[in-house]
Structure 1
């Protein structure tokens, strides 16, 4: 796992689930996690709690481990120290060939439309980068939500409509989202398949 990665934390004793962000670590000693809602959840998250932690990186590898809470800090910043795990489990989730591309698209969320660029695509999902003008939206608003992605490929004039689940969100130079397609509407599946296959064919000539 890398600094800046979003983490899903489940408290084993209660089943309570929280979202956090890895902000630091000392190899073999501890992980430092920022929990933005720790102030309201401090009675639920306590020292010596056993927790299950999961996070997904931009390569769609799900990492998971079980550990304990060693220290909690409420002020000036809501931080949790976790004991460094003895091992990480990794599960590669990608089931489809994913090809790099640059396709303009629109993302629909809560009745709003956001301009994006698809930077890689498969039948199972996509990675998109939001336009710089979308300053009114944050990773917290997107992760774990359902969105619609609308776009056209270079070799087909018909629009693709993809109902999607936001698996990951990060905001470094620009905000990027990892999407899993839940439903491809109409001819969308065939259009994506044709486009990805054509990119794959030409990529052999690199």
Structure 2
């Protein structure tokens, strides 16, 4: 996420700019400095990506502050707000970081377009190398308000999210839940994300997890029926390879698995999520929240250690950050690991499975799936309740 610092602006104008920019809080956050001390305090703790300064009233202190900020962040771009008719030509020499000039009263649409252009943010983006179910869970986790256009060959579908909740869906012939089942079931679909600028009424009541599980059940049933219907001339079923509906496993890494990421020379460990990969080239993970300062370091210093647990095995490998991608989601691209270490924590291996299940806690019921199992126990993924006592959980049926 980009950081925009606004300085030298009056309270009313600051409120107008903050409200206009706040509609795009998926892309950046706005920081308003009421005075020079506050601006320096913000710059000491957060690296700004853009500065917006009000130069409609000449102020020597503002120019000194700009020079100080420019000294700390030489590549920092700036937008100046000026009075109509004031050419401000001298300021281009005094503060070369200012590349755009907007007159008062500020046209907020022009301001947004200018900010997007400088920060190289596209309000739409194509998502690649990530499965649609994994991407939808990431939208839910990030509480995004947006809509997705999903394409498979000539078919097109739309999924609408409000603060991370799937509220509507449509294809050419289906709407809402039935449309969602169809869209999520598409293989190798192209995903485009758009910021939502219109109100969409809530037409889907089922949680996203329920819809994902139901979609998977329908795909498995459809595949099973197709295999049963494939008969040879002698009446025996024709055996064909079918694509598995389970995530592809690469040295224990699965879409959505939780990661523990630590800079190699620091003691602090941060949590992340595995998003996807291009085998033999790179991995994609969600950017840990505490990595802002670490990402400012030179490339040679961005060595990290990644650890995670899968099927009773602790995996660990060393890597380095190749690139950070702040929009439309904060993502890190990591070097593909050359070596992965493993340590077993169970004496008896669990078998991977996908069994729909229901569970109860204090007379409350939830649904989920059994993901792995052996004769001693199993691993379950359950839809969370508001409050529960973990000791009272039990599986009712599957």
TM-score (norm 1): 0.50
Structure-2 residue corresponding to 1:51: 304
Any runs of at least 4 consecutive aligned residues in structure 1 with deviations exceeding 3 A, and if so which?
Answer: 45-48, 96-108, 113-123, 146-154
Structure-2 residue corresponding to 1:17: 269
Confirm whether residue 42 of structure 1 aligns to residue 271 of structure 2. no
In 1, the alpha carbon distance for the partners of 2:304 and 2:375 equals: 33
Higher helix share: 2
In 2, the alpha carbon distance for the partners of 1:117 and 1:17 equals: 29
CA RMSD of superposed structures (Å): 3.7
| Gap runs ≥5 in structure 2 | 1-252
Higher strand share: 1
The structure that has the greater radius of gyration is 2
Residues 121-155 of structure 1: CA deviation (Å, up to 9, x unaligned): 665x5312325xx4x67xxxxxxxx953543899x
Confirm whether residue 148 of structure 1 aligns to residue 386 of structure 2. no
| Residues 50 and 69, structure 1, Cα contact 8 Å, conserved in 2 | yes
- Equivalent residue in structure 2 for 1:77, among 321, 329, 333: 329
In 2, the alpha carbon distance for the partners of 1:153 and 1:107 equals: 10
- The offset of 1:42, in angstroms, is 0.7
Residues 150-206 of structure 1: CA deviation (Å, up to 9, x unaligned): 43899xxxxxxxxxxxxxxxxxxxxxxxxxxxxxxxxxxxxxxxxxxxxxxxxxxxx
- The offset of 1:29, in angstroms, is 1.6
- The offset of 1:61, in angstroms, is 2.4
TM-score (norm 2): 0.29
| Residues 312 and 349, structure 2, Cα contact 8 Å, conserved in 1 | no
Higher relative contact order (CA 8 A, sep 6+): 1
